[in-house]
């Protein structure tokens, strides 16, 4: 799988220039690049059936790569001062701080919740940095119906950029297939993702 765009949505303070971000960014890139389909392939080829491919196996493949290769923690429960907005898909410990990553598998409302969760963690001083991974508009038609995608989320960027924070970082990684081929099997709409690595 390939990354077609990387956006620094929020960058306050010096985290974007830090060695920690350099390491984390590289780990995320490697984990996404490792996602391959069909099984045994060296790249990610998708069957172009409209809304025919599952999303969770793709996410789970990346999560497995982050956990197995780089020691990330998955489904991290975060304690907020108010009611928790839910677990975070993956976190990486940076000395006394956390970096959080969300991989979008739901609809556009879910995408908004993911961004809000990450920004809330920055506002509360829980996350030093954050990242969101979501599909491009080109990949979108071949995945589960109404999956959130970058182009649909982009009009709201100015709202999140206007949040009043002194320090914090939120990057967005936009992902896409390497190739299209109607002869490859569709990705099941299930939860097993390790086969995609």
- Find the farthest-apart pair of alpha carbons in the chain and give their distance in angstroms, rounded: 51
**Letter string b/e over residues 102-111, b meaning 16 or more CB atoms within 10 A of that residue's CB:** bbbbbbbebb
Closest CA to 122 of 151, 154, 85, 174: 85
Q: Is 104 a catalytic residue?
A: yes
Distance, in Å, from the CA atom of 130 to the CA atom of 128, rounded to the nearest integer, reads 7
Distance, in Å, from the CA atom of 74 to the CA atom of 61, rounded to the nearest integer, reads 12
Angle of helix 56-70 versus helix 19-33 axis, rounded to 10: 130
Catalytic residue among 27, 102, 104, 176: 104
In this structure, are residues 72 and 90 in contact, taking their beta carbons and an 8 Å threshold? yes
Q: ω before 38 within 30° of 0 (cis)?
A: yes
Q: Which residues are catalytic?
A: 104
């Amino acid at each position: 799988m390939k990354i077609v765009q990387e956006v620094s949505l929020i960058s306050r303070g010096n985290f974007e220039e830090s060695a920690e971000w350099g390491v984390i960014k590289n780990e995320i890139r490697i984990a996404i690049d490792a996602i391959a389909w069909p099984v045994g392939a060296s790249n990610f080829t998708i069957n172009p059936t409209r809304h025919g491919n599952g999303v969770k196996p793709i996410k789970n493949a990346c999560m497995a790569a982050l956990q197995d290769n780089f020691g990330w923690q998955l489904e991290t429960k975060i304690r907020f001062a108010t009611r928790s907005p839910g677990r975070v898909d993956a976190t990486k410990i940076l000395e006394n701080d956390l970096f959080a990553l969300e991989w979008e598998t739901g609809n556009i409302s879910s995408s908004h919740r993911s961004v809000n969760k990450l920004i809330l963690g920055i506002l509360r001083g829980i996350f030093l940095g954050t990242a969101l991974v979501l599909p491009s508009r080109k990949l979108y038609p071949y995945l589960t119906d109404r999956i959130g995608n970058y182009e649909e989320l982009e009009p709201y960027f100015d709202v999140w950029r206007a949040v009043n924070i002194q320090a914090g970082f939120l990057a967005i990684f936009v992902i896409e297939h390497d190739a299209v081929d109607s002869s490859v099997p569709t990705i099941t709409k299930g939860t097993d993702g390790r086969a995609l690595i």
